Amino acid sequence: MNKEVWQLIEVELKTAFNIPVKALNLPGFGGEPIKSEQYDLDTVVQSVADKVNANSIVVGWSLGGLVATRLATMYPDKVAHLILVSSNTQFCEDGTWPGIKGQVLEQFKAQLAKDSKKTIERFLAIQAMGSEHAKGDIKQLKSLLFQAPEPQEGALSAGLDILQNTDLKSEFAKLRCPMNGIFGRLDALVPPAVAAEMANINPQFGYEILPQASHAPFISHRDEFINYLKSTL
């Protein structure tokens, strides 16, 4: 994934809130260089932190939600309001927490080593799975993402490792900044049931589940997405 996915909604966000809006690439995505030999959540957060102003409204989608949550923990002065989009504090299910099966991520890693482009296309298809506009959503995602350079394979593999091995529930529970989440009822990667679980461990977390949306609600349901942000900010 890269920052081009926000292209369709970036202007609307600027207009709706009359504030500067800046989309960021994670290292290894969209042409952003990888500056550290080690690629883990903390090094990604440190890379992003340099580009985030103090008292920002930070929006993180999917893997970006893990980055945003850890950013709020490591650099609380930078995050005035945390917005998580189709994200999870622990992406892998473990019997007590809703998530994606670990074997699915293992399959993606194995396929990535064989055919990265085909694996990316399959991942995009899963992100739109269930959406009533699935074909259109996939087409839009592809047209936006492929405007930027292809992601580095090392970043893709490391990103999957982060999704598979990260558990931020305890630090999410300790956050005291305003927090909100937007989820899709039809999401195949982040079960919408996790929204209530996240609110249970941190009652400051408010959320909305869009009934017809999948994993990319800011693309498939832009108006509802903007309206929810307006109601919370």
8-65 per-position pLDDT tens digit: 899 899 999 999 999 999 999 999 999 888 999 999 999 999 999 999 999 999 999 9
Average pLDDT over residues 149-165: 90
| Least confident segment among 81-85, 196-200, 215-219 | 215-219
Q: What percent of the chain has pLDDT over 90?
A: 67
Q: Count Cβ atoms within 10 A of the Cβ of residue 57 and give its class: 0-12 exposed, 13-18 middle, 19 or more buried.
A: middle
CATH number for 103: 3.40.50.1820
Higher pLDDT, 138 or 100: 100
- What is the reported pTM? 0.93
Domain residues for the domain of 221 are 3-232
- Residues identified as active-site: 62, 187, 215
Domain count along the chain: 1
> Higher-confidence residue: 158 or 121?
158
